Amino acid sequence: NAGVTQTPKFQVLKTGQSMTLQCAQDMNHNSMYWYRQDPGMGLRLIYYSASEGTTDKGEVPNGYNVSRLNKREFSLRLESAAPSQTSVYFCASRTKGVDNYGYTFGSGTRLTVV
């Protein structure tokens, strides 16, 4: 009953470095999402994958890329990190068609870019 697992939990990057945030869910959910959360800004959608094999941009996609590796895994890549990408990143998943349930979130990755 792991739910949504994100790795790493914490990361410090230097400006210009790259990294990939990993996310995996074990609930057989179709849709997966990446959000960032900044103080006073709420959760903002970066990218999403409505189903395996598809990905689409959200509200703030610039500077990020994603890969939906299979139904379980959805990774977020920062190619050249910038201080403006310092944030807490959350991955979430949701099953299709079951409208009594909301998103299941991971515990987050706290990223600092210096």
Partner 1 sequence: SQKIEQNSEALNIQEGKTATLTCNYTNYSPAYLQWYRQDPGRGPVFLLLIRENEKEKRKERLKVTFDTTLKQSLFHITASQPADSATYLCALDRVDSSYKLIFGSGTRLLVRP
Which parts of this chain interact with partner 1 (CB under 8 A)? Answer: 4, 31, 33, 35, 40-45, 48, 50, 56, 58, 90, 92, 94, 96, 99-108
The backbone region for 60, taken as left when phi is positive above 0, alpha when psi lies in -120 to 50, beta otherwise, is beta
How far is residue 89's CA from residue 63's CA, in Å, rounded to a whole number? 14
Triad 84, 86, 92: Cα angle to 5°: 115
Q: Closest separation between CB of residue 67 and partner 1, Å? A: 18
Q: Closest separation between CB of residue 65 and partner 1, Å? A: 18
Comparison of 69 and 101: residue with beta carbon closer to partner 1: 101
